[in-house]
Structure 1
Amino acid sequence: MTEVDAIDLALLRAMQTDASRSAASLARETGLSQPAVWRRIKRLRDADVLRGAQVRLDREKLGFGVTVFLGVKLATKGRVSLEDFERAVRAIPEVQTVEHVLGLYDYRLRVVARDISDFERVLRRRIMTLPGAGQVEANVLLSEERLPGPL
């Protein structure tokens, strides 16, 4: 485990909110010099505490107005490997995330589609034909609020 002090946590919180902030901005917020901020960020990257930077896309503006969370229970555990299922589901461009979970379902998928009929097409032609796919439960996202991370 990497040693992280209060200043590191302040940097991580600020970067989690907006990873594109400049070192000068981060330095002003934390009371450090720019070189000190860069050294800390480099140390956190080298320790794999910081892994890349992400851009959040506005799915609606890109024409994807529907987000659905799918719970997928595998029908044939043992006959189809988890790797086969995961490899096949990763090939579906509408699937944004694949989570292997413990509970009622084996997997939780985040699927985007243009509209409900487009989602139905993805479900019938792609999801339900996955190796080992069995029971599926769909939950349509009504609204989403991004909360700050745990730091």
Structure 2
Amino acid sequence: MDDTDRRILRHWLSEPDLPRAELAERAGVTLATLWRRIERLRESGAIRGESMIIDWRALGYELEVSLRFTLDKTNPRAFDEFIEAARQVPEVTSIETFLGQVDVRLNAIARDMTHWTRIYRERILTLPHIAEVDALMLISTLKDEAGLPL
């Protein structure tokens, strides 16, 4: 990856909807060069794909909760069974595993407090192998940036 690749990525990350011709112009390359470089970045694995970001708040979800779990690891399949069950909860937006005191973190969304209470009681607390759970309700997001220091 050279400075031109980094320049392409920097402009593309800052404005993902930029038409390719304008992206090429801002990056200082021809459109053909832009396409070749993007293809090379994809082949190398530097670009794994393009995605759409949906604002769940615009769809009526008002709450986001981060849940930290410590699992009862006396069962050798505790992680696998917990994660398999957590994937089935439609309101869970992300699942992460950790080394340390916290084994798994889930992020979940809900329309309001009544909806959250139902999700928590009926779907979260019924997940298998929970030893401890800690819920943190999101108040505000101060930085949410997918960009890299390119």
TM-score, shorter chain, exceeding 0.5: yes
CA distance in 2, matches of 1:112, 1:69: 9
Structure 2, gaps ≥5 residues long: none
116, 127, 149: which one pairs with 1:119? 116
Deviations 1:17-42 (A, max 9, x none): 33332221211111000010000111
8, 23, 32: which one pairs with 2:20? 23
Tell whether the 8 Å contact from 1:19 to 1:53 is kept in structure 2 after alignment. no
Tell whether the 8 Å contact from 1:128 to 1:134 is kept in structure 2 after alignment. no
SS of the equivalent of 1:24 reads helix
Tell whether the 8 Å contact from 1:17 to 1:148 is kept in structure 2 after alignment. no
CA distance in 1, matches of 2:137, 2:70: 18
Structure 1 match to 2:91: 94
Do the aligned partners of residues 148 and 84 (structure 1) sit closer, same or farther apart at CA in structure 2, a change above 3 Å counting?
closer
Structure 1 match to 2:144: 146
CA distance in 2, matches of 1:124, 1:46: 45
Structure 1, gaps ≥5 residues long: none
TM-score normalised according to structure 2 size: 0.89
CA distance in 1, matches of 2:40, 2:122: 46
Deviation at 1:75, TM superposition (A): 2.0
Tell whether the 8 Å contact from 1:63 to 1:114 is kept in structure 2 after alignment. yes
What RMSD over aligned residues (CA atoms) do the two structures have, in Å? 1.6
TM-score normalised according to structure 1 size: 0.89
Count how many residue pairs are aligned between Structure 1 and Structure 2. Answer: 148
Structure 1 match to 2:60: 63
Tell whether the 8 Å contact from 1:80 to 1:131 is kept in structure 2 after alignment. no
